[in-house]
Amino acid sequence: MKQMTIGRLSKAAGVKVTTIRYYESINLMGVPDRSTSGQRLYDDEAVQRLSFIRHARDLGFPIDSIRDLIDLQHQPGEDCAHVDAIARRQLANVRLKLSQLEALEGELKRMISACEGGTIASCKVLESLSDHGLCLDGHDAKGLSA
């Protein structure tokens, strides 16, 4: 299979059609060939590249880091220290979020287990939320909302 449409690429790499077009619009995926009627045509290299992107996204790498990683891939003679640094930075980010989430989990658990039913007026959960300064002093939970 030499050339494929965006739908086939989408299935091959496990990335939605709209997302592929989005990646093209931000220059993360290159500009593909077009059929005479204007449809995008991709080759196997595009599958490779898109799979790489998808895997990196699954691991939480931001788009900019992925761009860097792809650039680096095309300089095979270079030292891989830079790649390593990007991965380590990502690991550090993940660990930071982990520790923040663990703190949140602890507090939520504590809050919920304090609640013994009853009315709003006596609700320990709302009490905990109203009492400021109980926990997590100083740091916040940016990007952790759900």
Partner DNA sequence: CTACAGTCTACAGCGACTGTAGAGGCAAGG
Partner DNA sequence: CCTTGCCTCTACAGTCGCTGTAGACTGTAG
Q: Enumerate binding residues for DNA (CB under 7 A).
A: 5-8, 10, 16-19, 21-22, 35-40, 57, 62-64, 142, 145
Which of the choices DNA, its own copies, none does residue 38 contact, using the CB cut-off of 5 to 8 A by kind? DNA
Shortest distance (Å) from residue 43 CB to DNA: 14
Q: Are 135 and 107 in contact (CB under 8 A)?
A: yes
Site residues for its own copies, 51-110, by CB under 8 A, read 51-52, 54-62, 69, 72-73, 75-81, 83-84, 87-88, 90-91, 93-98, 101-102, 104-105, 107-109
If binding means CB under 8 A, how many residues of this protein chain bind its own copies? Answer: 67
Closest CA to 63 of 113, 111, 26: 26
Please enumerate in sequence order all residues whose Cβ is within 8 A of that of 115, keeping only pairs 6 or more positions apart, or say none.
123, 124, 125
Examine residue 22 and tell whether it contacts its own copies (CB under 8 A).
no
Q: Least Å distance between CB 126 and DNA?
A: 19
Q: Does 130 bind its own copies (CB under 8 A)?
A: yes
Query: What would the DSSP string read from start to end of 9-74?
Result: HHHHHT--HHHHHHHHHTTSSPPPEE-TTS-EEB-HHHHHHHHHHHHHHHTT--HHHHHHHHHHHT
Give me the amino acid identity at 53.
Answer: I
Distance from C-alpha of 112 to C-alpha of 127, rounded to nearest angstrom: 11
Name the binder of 46 from its own copies, DNA, none, CB < 5-8 A by kind: none
Cβ-based nearer residue to its own copies, 17 or 87: 87
CB nearer to its own copies: pick between 38 and 81: 81
